[in-house]
């Protein structure tokens, strides 16, 4: 045996001892000292040692020096590498939240198991202590949700820290998802798609183009067209005027070299427009202040060339920024705001509005425009205040078919508005539009004030925004999708209000390339599964399908999301009965919609952070007996089921099925 000199043995012993002591002595790792960039939240940016507002962390009057300030719905993913022993924090609503709207639920989840769940916490309540064992946990999630409430979800994880005995933890992004196109391409043989019913006022110009997929050239015919209408055999455009009110059931027929198709269609000449939710494109979320006449023409071209029109998309709508901006130094936005008669002028980016709508109409599409009842629009362009009648006439002369009427600066006219003040501008424009000699669909945009869904239709609206801007804080879209799409809708029971002639509008489809508000575009921040969720939910609740990404730059995945005819059929169902949430179990929600043919469409939504098996029970749907279950995204029958249907649903994803006998 080799002998070591005594000092070497001493050093070795000391080293062993220190290592041992170090390993046993846990290190405190403050969550706020980690990289916060992978954190996902519904508004603003996560803050280290501050609230989301940038102010000091403060809960129920108590201040905290350290911690993490987030905004609901937020997800912090921590890879603990199985090296931590405990997680602790004091959680609550930050005192600077500004309103007591939010009820926040805090959760800590370790490898799929709930380790801590707070009750719903409100502004002003003292912080709750979290102190949980995380030994052996690999993935730790810190979640703050404000289910059922909309704003001011300032969620603090004060003093949030880990006791670490092994490897240091890191924050990580959610797992990457492949963008998988689930839907087969439409066949080359003819197929008629889109709405099955269409409303028009007596004596007004009629335009409806039969949406059909399949190889071109294609011929179109319509049996039993009412008097006053004719169809163009090569384009499928039906035009004319019907004088006599009534419901006319016609048959569309289309044929190409490979085959033919027919489908019944109802034309209802009467008082109600928008018998199904509007389908189209809007310029705002991709072009915002940069919109021009050329952009709008290119959008109309793309509506045709992308094939979106063949699936039922009709409207090509300009949003804000076409009128003069009195305070802009950009000459292309300047000029006389109104003509000698007081009618609104377009800015120089729109030199020929009539020419533009003629261009759109020639393709069999419809044109939409935007203004505000206030003196200025949200982006500071001229609004319609005190010129409502003249401006509506101008829109009609220009040939517009759709008006979005956005509250914006009307807040300076009606300060602290009561319900009648909120209704006034919309009632006014609704009446004016109804007296025009052309049909104009009216979209109320006032972010859900005064429960607009209760009176939007009565004042002349055909749809009403139910909440704020879905994409207002670009990177907050995933949170807003769940908050405004699911929670606002379910808590306010909005299914009771939408229907033929007036629809709940949770805002546009934020897919594909969207503005990043810095003059460039970027792909939607929604994950592929969130995008399936977005479209599925919009169709289940009968929302307008208005795409607001770059229509000239559609990748296969985005186009597939927008053009699955079986999914669109859900949205456009002629019964017009919006779906609702029929079951909820934590993060798992089942939504269902009754269809005109007696079938049911069901969405199994997993809002949780891990894939899981979900089930829908027939008892939740009021069903008995066997049903054939069809997967609508894959357009595939899955088999016959009795009593319940089960499926694995990915993180933030959906399985959308239709149940028939």
- Joined together, the tokens standing for residue 370 give 């935007």
- In the complex with ligand GLA, the residue whose CB is nearer, 507 or 609, is 507
Cβ proximity to ligand GLA: between 158 and 445 the closer is 445
Q: Which is nearer to ligand GLA, 357 or 371 (CB)?
A: 371
Instruction: Return the SS3 of 648.
Output: strand
Q: How far is CA 250 from the centre of its chain?
A: 34
Write out the binding residues for ligand GLA, residues 400-429 only, by CB under 6 A.
Answer: 406
Spatial distance between the Cα atoms of 16 and 14, rounded to a whole number of angstroms: 5
Asked about 406 being catalytic, the answer comes back as yes
Question: How many of the chain's residues bind ligand GLA (CB under 6 A)?
Answer: 9
Q: Is 588 in the site for ligand GLA (CB under 6 A)?
A: no
| HSE-CB for 155 with a 13 A CA cutoff | 32
- Rg of the chain over Cα atoms, rounded to whole angstroms, equals 28
Build a one-symbol-per-residue string for 246-285: x at contacts with ligand GLA by CB under 6 A, - elsewhere: --------------------------------------x-
CB of 370 to ligand GLA, least distance (A): 6
Label the pairing between strands 74-79 and 237-240.
unpaired
Q: Provide the minimum distance between the beta carbon of 300 and ligand GLA in the complex, in angstroms, as a whole number.
A: 20
Active-site residue identified among 401, 406, 571, 587: 406
* 550 contacts ligand GLA (rule: CB under 6 A): no
For residue 37, give the nearest of 52, 47, 49 by alpha carbon.
Answer: 47
Nearer to ligand GLA, 287 or 513 (CB): 287
Q: Given the complex with ligand GLA, which of 318 and 561 has the nearer CB atom?
A: 318
487 binds ligand GLA (CB under 6 A): no
CB of 462 vs ligand GLA, minimal distance in Å: 16
* Closest to 288 in 3D by CA, of 325, 314, 315, 336: 325
**What stretch of H or E contains 22?**
helix 6-24
Peptide bond into 437 cis (omega under 30): no
502 and 540 Cβ atoms separated by less than 8 Å: no
Residue 627 pairs in a beta bridge with 641
User: Nearest approach, Cβ of 379 to ligand GLA (angstroms)?
Assistant: 4
Polymer length of the chain:
661
DSSP 336-390: -SB-TTSPBPB-TT-S-HHHHHHHHHHTT-EEEEEE-SSSB-TTS-B--TT-HHH
Burial status of residue 524 (CB atoms within 10 A of its CB: 0-12, 13-18, 19 or more)? buried
Q: Minimal distance in Å, beta carbon 288 to ligand GLA?
A: 7
Residues 6+ apart with CB under 8 A from 345: 323, 324, 335, 336, 337, 338, 339
Among 422, 445, 452, 592, binds ligand GLA (CB under 6 A): 445
* Distance linking the first and last C-alpha atoms of the chain: 85
Question: Strand 191-192 relative to strand 113-117: parallel, antiparallel, unpaired?
Answer: unpaired
- Least separation in angstroms between residue 173's CB and ligand GLA is 29
Q: How far is the CB of 508 from ligand GLA (least distance, A)?
A: 7
Question: What CA–CA distance (Å, rounded) separates 436 from 634?
Answer: 44
73 prior amide bond cis, ω within 30: yes
Indicate the SS3 state at residue 388: helix
Smallest separation (angstroms) from ligand GLA to the CB of 507: 7
Kindly state the smallest distance separating residue 409's Cβ from ligand GLA, in Å: 11
Rounded (5°) CA angle 314-317-318? 165
**Residue (275 or 445) nearer to ligand GLA, CB:** 445
> Strand (E) positions, 94-153?
105-110, 113-117, 128-133, 139-145
220 or 284: CB nearest ligand GLA = 284
Nearer Cβ to ligand GLA, position 144 or 546? Answer: 546
The per-residue DSSP string of 211-251 comes to -EESSSS-EEEEETPPTTEEE-TTT-EEEE---S-EEEEEE
- Respond yes or no: is residue 156 known to be catalytic: no
Nearest approach, Cβ of residue 311 and ligand GLA (Å):
24
Cβ-based nearer residue to ligand GLA, 463 or 560: 463
Distance of CA 276 to the CA centre of its chain: 18
Q: Identify which of residues 42 and 603 has a Cβ nearer to ligand GLA in the complex.
A: 42
Q: Least distance to ligand GLA from the beta carbon of 221, Å?
A: 40
Q: Is 469 in the site for ligand GLA (CB under 6 A)?
A: yes
Hey, CA dihedral for 480, 483, 486, 488, is it positive or negative?
negative
- Neighbouring-strand partners of residue 43: none
Q: Pick the closer one to ligand GLA by CB: 80 or 444.
A: 444
Residues 49 and 116: beta-carbon distance below 8 Å = no
- Tell me the per-residue interface mask from 278 to 317 with ligand GLA, x by CB under 6 A, - otherwise: ------x---------------------------------
Residue 278 has a CB neighbour count (10 Å cut-off) of 25
**C-alpha to C-alpha distance for 276 and 575, rounded to whole angstroms:** 9
Out of 469, 484, 550, 571, the active site residue is: 469
Which residues neighbour 171 within 8 Å (Cβ) at sequence distance 6 or greater? 34, 35, 36, 37, 38, 39, 76, 77, 78, 79
Nearest to 337 by CA among 294, 364, 297, 371: 371
**Of residues 366-405, which lie at the interface with ligand GLA (CB under 6 A)?**
377-379
Q: Does 320 bind ligand GLA (CB under 6 A)?
A: yes
Q: Which residues are catalytic?
A: 406, 469
Note the residues at the interface with ligand GLA (CB under 6 A).
Answer: 284, 319-320, 377-379, 406, 445, 469
């Amino acid at each position: 045996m080799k002998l070591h000199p005594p000092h070497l043995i001493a050093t070795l012993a000391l080293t062993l001892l220190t290592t041992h002591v170090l390993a046993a002595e846990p290190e405190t790792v403050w969550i706020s000292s980690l990289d916060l960039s992978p954190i996902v939240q519904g508004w603003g940016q996560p803050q280290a040692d501050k609230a989301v507002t940038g102010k000091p962390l403060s809960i129920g009057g108590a201040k905290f020096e350290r911690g993490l300030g987030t905004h609901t719905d937020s997800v912090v993913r921590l890879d603990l590498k199985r090296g931590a022993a405990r997680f602790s924090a004091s959680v609550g609503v930050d005192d600077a939240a500004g309103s007591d709207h939010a009820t926040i639920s805090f959760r800590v989840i370790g490898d799929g198991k709930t380790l801590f769940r707070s009750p719903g916490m409100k502004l002003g309540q003292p912080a709750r202590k979290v102190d949980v064992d995380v030994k052996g946990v690999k993935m730790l999630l810190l979640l703050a949700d404000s289910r059922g409430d909309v704003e001011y979800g300032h969620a603090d994880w004060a003093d949030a820290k880990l006791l670490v005995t092994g490897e240091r933890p890191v924050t990580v992004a959610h797992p990457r998802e492949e963008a998988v196109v689930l839907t087969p391409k439409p066949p080359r043989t003819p197929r008629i798609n889109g709405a099955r019913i269409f409303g028009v006022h007596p004596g007004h110009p009629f335009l409806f183009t039969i949406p059909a997929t399949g190889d071109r050239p294609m011929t179109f015919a319509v049996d039993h067209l009412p008097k006053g209408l004719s169809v163009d055999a090569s384009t499928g455009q039906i035009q004319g005027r019907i004088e006599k009110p009534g419901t006319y059931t016609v048959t569309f027929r289309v044929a190409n070299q490979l085959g033919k198709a027919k489908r019944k269609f109802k034309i209802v000449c009467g008082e109600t427009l928008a018998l199904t939710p509007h389908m189209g494109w809007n310029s705002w979320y991709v072009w915002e202040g940069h919109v021009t006449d050329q952009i709008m023409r290119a959008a109309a071209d793309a509506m045709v060339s992308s094939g979106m029109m063949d699936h039922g998309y009709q409207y090509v709508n300009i949003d804000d920024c076409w009128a003069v901006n009195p305070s802009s130094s950009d000459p292309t936005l300047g000029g006389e705001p109104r003509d000698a008669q007081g009618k609104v002028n377009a800015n120089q980016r729109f030199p020929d509005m009539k020419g533009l709508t003629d261009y759109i109409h020639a393709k069999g599409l419809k044109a939409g425009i935007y203004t505000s009842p206030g003196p200025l629009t949200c982006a500071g362009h001229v609004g319609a205040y005190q010129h409502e009648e003249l401006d509506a006439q101008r829109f009609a002369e220009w040939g517009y078919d759709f008006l979005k009427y956005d509250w914006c600066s009307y807040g300076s006219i009606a300060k602290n508005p009561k319900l009648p003040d909120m209704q006034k501008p919309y009632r006014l424009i609704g009446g004016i539009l109804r007296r025009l000699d052309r049909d104009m669909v009216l979209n109320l945009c006032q972010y859900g004030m005064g429960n607009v869904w209760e009176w939007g239709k009565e004042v002349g609206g055909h749809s009403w925004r139910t909440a704020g801007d879905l994409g207002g804080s670009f990177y907050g879209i995933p949170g807003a999708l769940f908050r405004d799409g699911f929670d606002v809708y379910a808590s306010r029971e909005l299914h009771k209000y939408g229907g033929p002639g007036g629809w709940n509008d949770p805002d546009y489809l934020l897919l594909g390339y969207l503005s990043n508000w810095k003059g460039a575009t970027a792909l939607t921040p929604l994950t592929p599964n969130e995008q399936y969720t977005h479209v599925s939910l919009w169709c289940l609740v009968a929302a307008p399908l208005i795409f607001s990404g770059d229509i000239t730059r559609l990748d296969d995945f985005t186009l597939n999301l927008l053009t699955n005819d079986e999914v669109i059929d859900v949205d456009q169902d002629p019964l017009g009965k919006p779906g609702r949430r029929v079951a909820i179990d934590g993060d798992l929600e089942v939504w269902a919609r009754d269809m005109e043919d007696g079938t049911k469409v069901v969405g199994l939504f997993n809002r949780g952070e891990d894939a899981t098996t979900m089930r829908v029970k027939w008892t939740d749907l009021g069903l008995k007996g066997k049903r054939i279950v069809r997967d609508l995204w894959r357009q595939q029958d899955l088999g016959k089921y009795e009593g319940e249907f089960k499926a694995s649903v990915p993180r933030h994803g959906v399985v959308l099925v239709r149940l028939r006998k």
